[in-house]
Structure 1
Amino acid sequence: MGFDEKGNEIPETEHTGKLATEAESGVEKVSNVTRRMSESSIAVTEEEDDDEERKIELGPQCTLKEQLEKDKDDESLRRWKEQLLGSVDMESVGETLEPEVKIVTLAIKAAGRPDIVLPIPEGGNPKGSWFTLKEGSAYSLMFTFQVSHNIVSGLKYTNTVWKTGIKVDSTKEMLGTFSPQAEAYTHEMPEETTPSGLFARGTYAAKSKFVDDDNKCYLEINYTFDIKKDWL
């Protein structure tokens, strides 16, 4: 998901790849979006391999209790850790090394209409078109997630979109580092606008992922969506 309301192609950055339409030689064409594709068509691409190649070698993981014990004589570090951990119940997190992130809800927000609540599919592959967007409309993605067991570092959301077998959109949003807590965290993506016009309409294939600094994937969804003249 990601569209430039002015219809200009934007070089890929941390949050990029807006879907756009442009006129060339008197023919309107889409430089960023797609039709339905088979599962083999949305297999790992060269662009997605970039994340694998950029994996950072991090130090050994520690439990929360071990983290608090480290550098306990450093007052500034101790205060920073207490601020990060907040009111974490140390008895409930125990000695678990691996953090766990659960995506609780996914929704598409658009002004003047009810939110589109997206059911999170078992196995990560919704059947048929997952949702429909109206051409030329502003929207934003909002999700909630829970963190348990340990601190999750560098959690980020990525989304890639294809049309006619070509990658047309790539979005990366760094969410941050989160401590475990009972309450869910909420994050809303920046507002974007779908393209409009005959060649902007159709079915698109996409892949969304939530991963952390260790490249641990907490949710991966392969799906299709439609852009049509109106909301359905």
Structure 2
Amino acid sequence: MSAVVGSVTTPSQNAGIILSSNMKKEAEKKNDKISAEVCKDLIKEMNKKSDDIEEKNDEQIIEKDDHKNDESSSKQNQLLIRNIGLSVEEKKLRPEVKILRLNIYSPDRADVVLPIPFPCTSSKDTLFTLKEGSKYRITFHFSVSQDIVKNLSSVYSVWKAGVRVRQTTKVIGTFSPREQEYTHESDKGVTPSGFFARGSFFIRWKFVDDDGNCYLDTNYYFDIRKDWGASEKCSNN
């Protein structure tokens, strides 16, 4: 009879083999779980980068569209300006106002015409003379070109012996450019009377508009006397 030789495992060995097999399966499951989480993280990161790229592309597209819209709007504005007969350079020009001359009217004397700019005067060499207690009216002539002047105003200040005795600001109006000159007539006035009213007066006269443009800033002296006087530095009509 032949003998059969084989390996014989004991119950304890069988238990060890089963435990080892289970541990191996658990490890494999754990590794699979870690691998799955890593894959999910990688997928999330890739999706995030893809979203960032798409967002940047969208921003670039929007910027290009805005730029195109700005160019289109600018072209439309230029076309509109050309259609009304104005160039861009002409539109930027500020109004040009020239004060041409000043007339002084009084019923008791000949009219006084003062071309501008006035000649330089002093307290001893005045531009003209007014009689105390006399009625008078001032008219000035001016021209407007290039653009509309808004709220042209006259600022009139009077000093006597270094003390300001009067300051008046009056809005003359808004005027459009034209070839013909404009004429503005001031309110009628009466010169003061008495010993303290006589003498030399210093005048500063400015013409300005709402935009801060100053078109004339001049000064001169005139006299108030008991009578009209014979030596006046002006031309009479």
Shift of 1:131: 1.1
Instruction: Select the residue among 129, 134, 137 that pairs with 1:132.
Output: 129
Report the equivalent of 1:166.
163
Q: What is the 5 A alignment of 1:1-232?
A: 94-121=90-117, 125-126=120-121, 128-232=125-229
- How many pairs were matched up? 146
Q: Highest relative contact order (Cα 8 Å, sep 6+), 1 or 2?
A: 1
Amino acid at match of 1:193: V
Q: 1:225 to 1:186 in 2, by over 3 A?
A: same
Distance 1:189 1:104 in 2: 16
Report which of the two has the higher share of strand: 1
Amino acid at match of 2:214: C
Higher mean C-alpha displacement, 124-133 vs 164-173: 124-133
Considering only aligned residues, what root-mean-square deviation do their CA atoms show, in Å?
Answer: 2.5
Tell me if the contact between 2:100 and 2:115 (Cα under 8 Å) persists in the aligned partners. no
Tell me if the contact between 1:102 and 1:147 (Cα under 8 Å) persists in the aligned partners. yes
SS at match of 1:221: strand
Percent identity (aligned): 48
Distance 1:90 1:114 in 2: 46
Distance 1:159 1:103 in 2: 14
Shift of 1:125: 4.0
Tell me if the contact between 1:125 and 1:221 (Cα under 8 Å) persists in the aligned partners. no
Shift of 1:90: 6.6
Which runs of 5 or more structure 1 residues have no equivalent in the other structure? 1-65, 71-88
Which runs of 5 or more structure 2 residues have no equivalent in the other structure? 1-76, 230-237
Q: 1:126 to 1:211 in 2, by over 3 A?
A: farther
Shift of 1:113: 2.4
* TM-score, normalisation: structure 2: 0.56
Distance 1:153 1:207 in 2: 22
* TM-score, normalisation: structure 1: 0.57
Name which one, 1 or 2, has greater alpha-carbon Rg: 2
